Amino acid sequence: MSLPRKDLFEMPEGLIYLDGNSLGPLPRSVAARVASAITDEWGQQLIRGWNVSGWMAQPSRIGDRVGKLIGAPEGSVVMGDTLSIKVFQALSAALAMRPDRRVIVSDTGNFPSDIYMAEGLVALKDAGYTLRLAPPEDVADHIDEHVAAVMLTEVDYRTGRKHDMNALTKAAQDAGAVMVWDLAHSAGAVEIDLAASNAEFAVGCTYKYLNGGPGAPAFIYVRPDLADDVQPALSGWLGHDAPFAFEPSYRPAPGIERMRVGTPPVLQMVALDAALDVWDTTTMAEVRAASIALCDLFITEVEARCPALKLVSPRDGSVRGSQVSFAFQNGYAAMQALIDKGVIGDFRAPDVMRFGFTPLYIDEGDVRAAAAIIEDVVTNDLWNRPEYLAPKRVT
């Protein structure tokens, strides 16, 4: 396949969408598939859809589709719930594997929700646990014999800085700790080989680069040799070995199925399943190569046109995710002006203008056009208007 494949996506005319790292656009196949699920499955089959249309099997079947994009063996990924729930599940299971240790290591660049979930778990356990936050570049130096689990997001949500998954997993395991990776900004953006990394757990969302839509379900990976023994702290009905036996006590299902919790969001699963068809037409290697080239071009163009913007992403594409971030004192207002002019990125406090690059629907022409509009907004102070300076709830 040649990239991009703009024909596979719904995109408003004249818009340059550089925010797929926050919410992917709508693949054209999704609307009809969801409409059919509503009218033909839910509408006609009613409760029979759980069996006739395979709703109950969605989490594992779609989990295997996601698994192919992250280097996970078949039967090691399951879908459902939100990413925060999956972080809690993975981290609590990791701590249970090292009951004599009391330290969780993460980094200061991790996504706040992951940190909040860790803080909540520490408070809930109330057993002398501590959360140790290290600078991203110094994580390995903070892993010692007291550490039970290391929890990191592979690609920094603000800067795009990319951790070395294999090296840090080895560092954690050499110290006797369990490794948990958050792939929210990696899945569908960079090449991942979870099997080769040997990590025990991984989690991620599907509404960014996988284009599953707002509220799309998260995923969790458990290394296959551990899956029959991990202890799910959230012992939900659908993680039971025999949910419809309605036994009075929890008995975990074998393998990855025990990491299911609640009822799967069927319509969101249908949307994600349809969105994943895009990935049947390309490879992660193709997407990654195109992503690095587009990001490199964007950096060159923006730096030549807008010296007031300071690059905060790694210049080396091999250690950068599929996004480019620039710091600008008036970044929030500038981003609002850009959105008004048809270039959609987003802003992360305190001063980061963030641009995501998905080669499935972005090409070199888009990059050059976006850079020209950024130049116009910044050099001509087009951001300095009351409507752009007023903060909105979502940035």
Q: Which DSSP symbol is given to 103? A: E
- Residues 198-253 have pLDDT tens digits of 999 999 999 999 999 999 999 999 999 999 999 999 999 999 999 999 999 999 99
* Helical ranges in the chain per DSSP H: 28-36, 43-45, 49-52, 58-69, 83-97, 112-125, 165-174, 194-197, 266-275, 284-305, 331-340, 364-379, 386-389
- Residues 27-81 have pLDDT tens digits of 999 999 999 999 999 999 999 999 999 999 999 999 999 999 999 999 999 999 9
Mean pLDDT of the chain: 96
| Fold: same for 6-28+283-389 and 54-280 | no
Choosing from 101, 161, 162, 208, which is the catalytic residue?
208
- CB neighbour list of residue 136: distance below 8 Å, 6 or more residues apart: 107, 108, 109, 156, 161, 163
Instruction: Give me the residue spans of the domains in the chain.
Output: 6-28+283-389, 54-280
Choosing from 9, 17, 88, 111, which is the catalytic residue?
111
- CB neighbour list of residue 54: distance below 8 Å, 6 or more residues apart: 61
111 tagged catalytic: yes
Answer yes or no: are the C-beta atoms of 337 and 375 closer than 8 Å: no
pLDDT band at 351 (very low <50, low <70, confident <90, very high): very high
Cα separation, 270 vs 33, in Å, equals: 7
Choosing from 9, 207, 326, 388, which is the catalytic residue?
207
332 tagged catalytic: no
In the chain, DSSP finds a helix count (H) and a strand count (E) of: 13, 13
Choosing from 65, 223, 260, 354, which is the catalytic residue?
354
Choosing from 81, 107, 114, 182, which is the catalytic residue?
182
- Residues 106-144 have pLDDT tens digits of 999 999 999 999 999 999 988 899 999 999 999 999 999
What would the CATH number be for the domain defined by 54-280? 3.40.640.10
- Residues 144-164 have pLDDT tens digits of 999 999 999 999 999 999 999
250 tagged catalytic: no
Q: How far apart are the first and last CA of the chain?
A: 35
Which region holds residue 151: left if phi is over 0, alpha if psi is between -120 and 50, else beta? beta
Tokens in use for 9?
Answer: 């996506």
Q: Is the pLDDT of residue 302 over 50?
A: yes
- Give the model's pLDDT for residue 1: 46
Q: Specify the CATH superfamily of domain 6-28+283-389.
A: Aspartate Aminotransferase, domain 1 (3.90.1150.10)
Dihedral (CA of 217, 222, 227, 231) sign: negative
Answer yes or no: are the C-beta atoms of 178 and 148 closer than 8 Å: yes
354 tagged catalytic: yes
Cα separation, 93 vs 180, in Å, equals: 10
246 tagged catalytic: no
